[in-house]
Amino acid sequence: MIQIDNLPDFNLAEEELVNVQAIADAQMTAAQSFTELAIRFFMNLVVCSVLVGVFYYRKSRRRDYFFTFMVFSSAMLLLLYVMGNVEVGVGLTLGLFAIFGVIRYRTETVPIREMTYLFVIIALAAVNGLAPIYKLAGATGNAPHYELNTGALAVTALANALVVVLVWVLESEKLLRHTSAKLVLYDRIELIVPERRAELIADLEKRVGVKVDNIEIGHVDFLRDAAYIKVYYTLEKGQRASIDTLTKARNFVPAFLLLLALPVGLKAQGTASELESDLRARLGVEVDHKISKGFHLNAEGELRMKDGQLGRYQAGAGLSYKLSPYFKVGAGCLFINNKNSSDEWKQRYRVYVDLTGTYRSGDWRFALRERLQMTHRDVGNKTQTTPNALALKSRFKVSYKGFRSVEPYALAELRLALNDPSCTATWNGGSYTDYTFGGYDDVYLNRYRGGFGLEWNLDRQNAIDIYGLLDYCYDKNIDTDKTRTILKSLTYDRTLSGILGVGYKLSF
């Protein structure tokens, strides 16, 4: 988050005092980086403490939401601060909003007031995490130096103050009248007719214990003599209803459909290569250890075979926490050693965060996992490959638990590339001209995967997973010359692979 402005004029032709590339690739000192992070973190912490502690908690007294808002705000700030140092475009925005959209479909209904506060602290975390606090002020020789951007810092502080004032005004009971609502399952349906509305309201006031302002009659079930009624009422001064409605868990399939719609119109233009197909094998092992209630520590390792020989191996560790019967969060890291087309081993390092929603209906179990991952790798030509590749992986899994020791399942998975290199060029029949590197902002679906499997539970601690997958990859391949000014080709490499795998899991 460095703003480059007010650069002095350098006479490169006469003295060549400044290395322009060194300025572009320059980094702040450790002390400056620490100061920048401290300013961002404590500014965000103070503002969120005022919003949540003074305005929200004073009326609702909900400790669970207080904890969620404060931790979520700090986590979002740190996430955006780190991601802000990675060259990404619209892809990161789409990925984050897809994840937040999934939360709405996976959990029980969140009251609108709590949802509003959640999005307010997300917006403040974005402002405080991405605002340009330091700027490149100049250079002495080849050593650029930085200084605190007091103007941008003042604007950021003002933006935070305006949000605090706006919330204070809107939360004031002198300005707006606060009306709450409850969804009531009512049993005396003989009173729902318009002629007996006064009797219905009087009965509701007596049984619910509030002064009813208005009612709305919804679904009526004559077989069970019940009806859903939405009751609007005014609370006493200083009171707040944090939970107005209680409904059944919602189906989260719409979030999966949302992800299908994200890449529409975003794919870069190019030529699709001839489809290649092969058969691959995988052998994996996983260890899951329950640390305490809800917390699990896991480690994993996997070997992947390609063309009859070892093509990749990886190992990693992660931590997960089960927030509720429907919702789980996790994070982890992976070390990957992959053999490329030239039979050279190339290392990759991956970190990820994921959200998993689960819904059970009888013996059927439905799960949707959204994983945001960043993979770092050393690349020679950064116009051809993203050094820190971001992707959003969506996996929908249906399993059946009606058998004693085996659990069949089916799954489908999508991978959305969020920051692939983009470019513009003109095709003149035999070659490209007017090539321009556009940055890391291309977003498109580059993997579709589906298959079936069987989990065999040997006992409470040991299980074997046998599966078969069909994997379709659609990866962009940009080829430029050594000067990075001429585009030689732009193709999409298509691969269809059959995958057979066996995994072992130890849980304790």
Q: Count how many Cα atoms sit within 13 Å of the Cα of residue 18 in the half-sphere of its side chain.
A: 17
What is the predicted pLDDT for the residue at 247? 43
What is the predicted pLDDT for the residue at 221? 80
The two beta strands, 143-148 and 179-186, are unpaired
What is the predicted pLDDT for the residue at 440? 84
How far is residue 295 from each of residues 319, 330, 350, 505, measured CA to CA in Å?
Answer: 7, 10, 22, 17
Transcribe 42-59 into DSSP letters.
HHHHHHHHIIIIIIIHHH
Under a CB-based contact definition with an 8 Å cutoff, are residues 297 and 319 in contact?
yes
Under a CB-based contact definition with an 8 Å cutoff, are residues 159 and 166 in contact?
no
Q: Which residues contact 317 (CB under 8 A, 6 or more apart)?
A: 297, 298, 299, 300, 332, 333
| Dihedral sign, Cα of residue 146, residue 151, residue 157, residue 163 | negative
Each residue's pLDDT expressed in tens, for the chain with a length of 508 residues: 444 445 445 444 444 434 444 444 455 666 777 778 888 888 888 888 888 888 887 777 777 778 888 888 888 888 777 766 555 555 555 565 555 555 544 445 667 778 888 888 888 888 888 888 777 666 555 556 667 778 888 888 888 889 888 888 887 766 666 677 788 888 888 888 889 988 998 998 888 888 888 888 888 888 778 888 988 887 666 555 545 444 443 443 444 444 444 433 333 345 555 667 778 899 999 999 999 988 999 999 999 988 778 889 999 999 999 998 899 999 999 999 988 777 788 899 999 999 999 999 888 999 999 999 999 988 877 778 888 899 999 999 999 988 888 999 999 999 999 988 888 877 766 677 777 888 888 888 888 999 999 999 988 899 999 999 999 888 877 888 777 778 777 777 888 889 999 999 999 8
Q: Which residues contact 38 (CB under 8 A, 6 or more apart)?
A: none
pTM beyond cutoff 0.75:
no
What is the predicted pLDDT for the residue at 254? 42
Q: Which residues contact 208 (CB under 8 A, 6 or more apart)?
A: 182, 184, 231, 233
The two beta strands, 134-140 and 143-148, are antiparallel
Q: Which residues of 59-77 are buried (b: 16+ CB within 10 A; e: fewer)?
A: bbebeebeebbbebbbebb
Transcribe 345-407 into DSSP letters.
EEEEEEEEEEEEEEEEETTEEEEEEEEEEEEEE--S-TTTS-SEEEEEEEEEEEEE--SSSEE
